[in-house]
C-alpha cells in the first residue's frame, strides 16, 4: 500500500515526544523539584555564572528546559545554538537590564573570540551567563549531566510502556544499558535507534 495519502502511525520516539521539555529531567539522587531548587540556589551564589556540561545526548538541553521556568528571579534571554545556527544576534550585546541572565545552549558552537566577547560583555555589565557545552567553558560548574542505565530505562518505559499492548514485545532483545554504552552515553542516539526499530516493525 502506498504511503502517500495514508494516515500515519504515530512513532512514540518522534521528536515531539523526546525533545527537551517533553521528557522531564531526572536527577539521579533526589527528586526534580529539590534538584532544580539546588541549582537555582547555586546559580544565585555564582551571580548567575555557570555551565552545564555533558556529552552529546546526555540531557543538557532537557535540564535547561526544566530549569528555565524556575529562574523567576532573573530576566532570562535564552539563545539556542546548533551546528546549523551559530550566529549571535547583535542585540545580545546591547546593555542588559538589571538581573539579566544570558542563557546560551550550545556555547561551544561559538568560536573562541565570540565566546570571549560574550563573557567580557556579561562581566562588564554584571549580567549572568549560563551555558551548556560538551566540555568546560571556564565557568563555574552548575551541573554535569550523564545518563545512567536506570534513567534511560525509565525514559524508554515512559515512551513505550510494556504494559500497553501497542508495545508488547517491542523491547524484547533490546539491551538498553548495552545500547547506551554503544552510543557513548547518548540517550538521544538510543531513542533514535528505537525510532528506527519502531518503523521497522521490530
Partner 1 sequence: MIRVEEPDIRIELATEAFAPSGELAGVFVIAGGPPPDARSVEFSVMWRTSGKGTEDIGVAHYQAWKPGDGTLASMPNPNTFTVTLPNTPWSYDGTLVKIHWLARVRVRYGPEGDTREVVQDAEFALTPSGRV
Q: How many residues bind partner 1 (CB under 8 A)?
A: 15
Minimum CB distance to partner 1 smaller for 15 or for 136: 15
Cβ-proximal residues to 161 (8 Å cutoff; 6+ apart), any chain: 167
DSSP 3-state assignment of 62? helix
Minimum CB distance to partner 1 smaller for 70 or for 146: 70
66-85 binders of partner 1 (CB under 8 A):
none
CA 40 – CA 195 distance, rounded (Å): 34
Among 5, 90, 98, 169, binds partner 1 (CB under 8 A): 5
Among 11, 46, 114, 148, binds partner 1 (CB under 8 A): 11
What are the cell numbers at 39?
541549582
Q: Give the CA distances from residue 64 to residues 38, 140, 198, in Å, rounded to whole numbers and listed in that order.
A: 14, 16, 28
CA 46 – CA 104 distance, rounded (Å): 17
Q: Site mask, partner 1, residues 163-202, x = CB under 8 A?
A: -----------------------------x--x---x---
Q: Quick check: 84 and 156 in contact, CB under 8 A?
A: no
- Map grid coordinates 515512559 to a residue: 158
Give min distance, CB of 19 to partner 1, in A. Answer: 9
CA 36 – CA 55 distance, rounded (Å): 20
User: In this chain, which stretch among 11-19, 99-107, 123-131, 177-185 interacts with partner 1, using CB under 8 A?
Assistant: 11-19
Minimum CB distance to partner 1 smaller for 16 or for 124: 16
Minimum CB distance to partner 1 smaller for 45 or for 196: 196
Give min distance, CB of 165 to partner 1, in A. Answer: 20
Give min distance, CB of 162 to partner 1, in A. Answer: 23
- Map grid coordinates 545580545 to a residue: 92
Cβ-proximal residues to 1 (8 Å cutoff; 6+ apart), any chain: none
Minimum CB distance to partner 1 smaller for 2 or for 29: 2
Binding site for partner 1 (CB under 8 A): 3-11, 14-16, 192, 195, 199
Amino acid at each position: 500500500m502506498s504511503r502517500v495519502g495514508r494516515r500515519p502511525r504515530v512513532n512514540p520516539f518522534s521528536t515531539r515526544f523526546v525533545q527537551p521539555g517533553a521528557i522531564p529531567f531526572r536527577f539521579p539522587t533526589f527528586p526534580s523539584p529539590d534538584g532544580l531548587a539546588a541549582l537555582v540556589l547555586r546559580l544565585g551564589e555564582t551571580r548567575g555564572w555557570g555551565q552545564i556540561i555533558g556529552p552529546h545526548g546526555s540531557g543538557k538541553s532537557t535540564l535547561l528546559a526544566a530549569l528555565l521556568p524556575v529562574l523567576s528571579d532573573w530576566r532570562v534571554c535564552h539563545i539556542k545554538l546548533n551546528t546549523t545556527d551559530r550566529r549571535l544576534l547583535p542585540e545580545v550585546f546591547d546593555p542588559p537590564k538589571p538581573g539579566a541572565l544570558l542563557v546560551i545552549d550550545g556555547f561551544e558552537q561559538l568560536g573562541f573570540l565570540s565566546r570571549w566577547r560574550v563573557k567580557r560583555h556579561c562581566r562588564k555589565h554584571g549580567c549572568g551567563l549560563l551555558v551548556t557545552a560538551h566540555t568546560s567553558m571556564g565557568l563555574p560548574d552548575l551541573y554535569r549531566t550523564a545518563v545512567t542505565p536506570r534513567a534511560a530505562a525509565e525514559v524508554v518505559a515512559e515512551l513505550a510502556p510494556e504494559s500497553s499492548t501497542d508495545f508488547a514485545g517491542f523491547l524484547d532483545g533490546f539491551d538498553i544499558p548495552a545500547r547506551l554504552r554503544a552510543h557513548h552515553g547518548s540517550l538521544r542516539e538510543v531513542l533514535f535507534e528505537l525510532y528506527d526499530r519502531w518503523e521497522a516493525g521490530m
